[in-house]
A and B are shown apart, each in its own frame.
Chain A
């Protein structure tokens, strides 16, 4: 591998890895508070991409209830991205109220949360298909403004090509991660969130409204998921209502690698898996999809608490 190829792979890996990171943070936030995995997170990811597409482009194809519809809202892309993510966040809130809260108040087996969140995922995915069909939607190539499609530079005489979209995605992810880090570490609501994650009963005794924090968490989780969906959509297109499923599963690998419930862990895990996928030799690219799961399996067997997680305590 030449230096140029190496740098190319690193750049590709870090870019997709940063998307994995913000997506996986959505899982981790919910897990750190409720100790459950939200299986509808992949569907929220998909939904975010569709929301943004509706706002920014709004042209639908020949299938589904809304076939032939041309909204032509022409909302500026940056705003669409933001509104799409906010809408996805609200879907997250709705999800918590519909699928998680009723189970919590009834004290049901936590396994049932897997089934009910999956039920919501089914509803979301099939509602999308019902409305706009299963076809591929792509954002126009100039969605980020009038910029060059790729940046080229040379390393020891060999060209390195980076798609501009990937640079933008990376930049957006970094901004979001910084903001999230700030919110969680330095604001009242962030500190309350940490307290609830540490111990719900104590937090509520200290006057923190646990229910409100849970809602905020689901909003942030949906926001991050929806944002990640749009970013992937601008890079690779929206490949139908099911395109979140793969990311949904990879996100699980990311959070386990980083340590379930650990926020820095999710970021590190995302970058590591992004890089690992980028470094799969072209001859074996068909096995690229398995890399994240190989990581997941091995990490669980060798270090179940993940890279940055706390060690698992045994019940005594």
Chain B
């Protein structure tokens, strides 16, 4: 068991981390907004943690606070990401559909180029030697794991709350939601900010985990990867991003025996799963469940 964790610990933690990033894209989608901004906030959060962890200015803090500095990094990353999300979100969320997606891609790319050129972010080289919270990679499950459980609990509660229902009402019909007295702008910005804060905190947790941080962390490729997690997992329930993120993050590793052709197969999986599982894995499992229940006679057919 220990050997298994030593060898696969990095992968398992990465799976949890990717599931969290998929969730950060799921919240805006819950209110019908296709935002691809998560990698930008993820990168930003990572830079916040990496800078607090390495820059001379924070040295006395690090010395006196010890490990307490890490939760403070997460907090700082969350607050900064949330603040930026409000600034970007209020103008950007007037856009819909593909226009919003493109605006958020632009946001991620602008942020990336800025980080590539600033001195404080280490330029093209990035920031090395970010202090570690744990000695082994596997131990990072103790930061990402509880966060995932917290977010699942939060999503579950959100689903059944006033805010969650408002999100879904906007997703189904914004105009009707508005007429019902729901302020669409406010809720859309709220969903966007929740996703951004989560991505920022995950970034701040990831910088110590990866030990180094650079501009390659927040790219367009990542935007689309997270979108694939949510759509292939299923965008209609919180289990979708969880399933999509963990499975798709593990896929390149599962395909490793195929060596060089594995990324080709990875692409094919994306194509075929979008064609054959339009509701995502969660949707397909749901169908399967109702199908077996019907055939076994647990419930009467709806038709």
Contacts and interface: CB of A to CB of B under 8 A. Distances in A.
Q: What band does the interface of chain B fall in when counting residues whose beta carbon is under 8 Å from A?
A: 35 or more
A127 B107 CA distance: 30
Nearest to A102: B275
A316 B178 CA distance: 12
B48 interface: no
A17 B82 CA distance: 37
Interface in B60-91: 91
Interface string A274-307: 0000000000001101100110110011001000
Contacts of B101: 114
Interface string B201-241: 00000000000000000001100100110011001000000
A311 to B, nearest CB: 13
B278 interface: yes
B192 to A, nearest CB: 15
Contacts of A129: 260, 263
A289 B111 CA distance: 11
A249 B267 contact: no
Interface in B235-284: 235, 260-261, 263-264, 266-271, 274-275, 278
A122 B264 contact: yes
A122 B270 contact: yes
Interface in A102-126: 102-103, 106, 108-109, 111-116, 118-124, 126
B109 A119 contact: no
A315 interface: yes
B149 interface: no
A118 B278 CA distance: 15
Nearest to A65: B260
Contacts of B271: 98-99, 116, 119-120, 123
B151 interface: no
B231 A286 contact: no
A253 interface: yes
Contacts of A115: 224, 227-228, 231-232, 270, 274
Contacts of B117: 286-287
A37 interface: yes
Contact of A103 (B105, B114, B274): B274
Contacts of A126: 261, 263-264, 266-267
B232 A300 contact: no
A180 interface: no
Given A39-B224, A108-B278, A119-B269, A296 B264 contact: no
A144 interface: no
B106 A293 contact: yes
A260 B267 CA distance: 27
B166 to A, nearest CB: 19
B194 to A, nearest CB: 20
A37 B98 contact: yes
A290 B34 contact: no
A130 interface: yes
B274 A122 contact: no
B228 to A, nearest CB: 5
B224 A245 contact: no
B267 A300 contact: no
Contact of A253 (B106, B231, B269): B106
A129 to B, nearest CB: 8
Contacts of A296: 102-103, 105-106
A108 B272 CA distance: 13
Contacts of B113: 286-287, 289-290, 293
A291 to B, nearest CB: 9
Contact of B109 (A108, A111, A123, A293): A293
A256 interface: yes
B279 to A, nearest CB: 9
B99 interface: yes
B266 A122 contact: yes
A116 B224 CA distance: 11
A107 to B, nearest CB: 9
B34 A106 contact: no
B116 interface: yes
Given A300-B106, A316-B175, A118 B275 contact: no
12 contacts: A37-B102, A106-B278, A108-B275, A116-B270, A119-B271, A123-B264, A123-B271, A126-B266, A287-B113, A290-B113, A296-B105, A300-B99
Interface of B: 34, 91-92, 94-95, 98-99, 101-103, 105-107, 109-110, 113-114, 116-117, 175, 220-221, 224, 227-228, 231-232, 235, 260-261, 263-264, 266-271, 274-275, 278
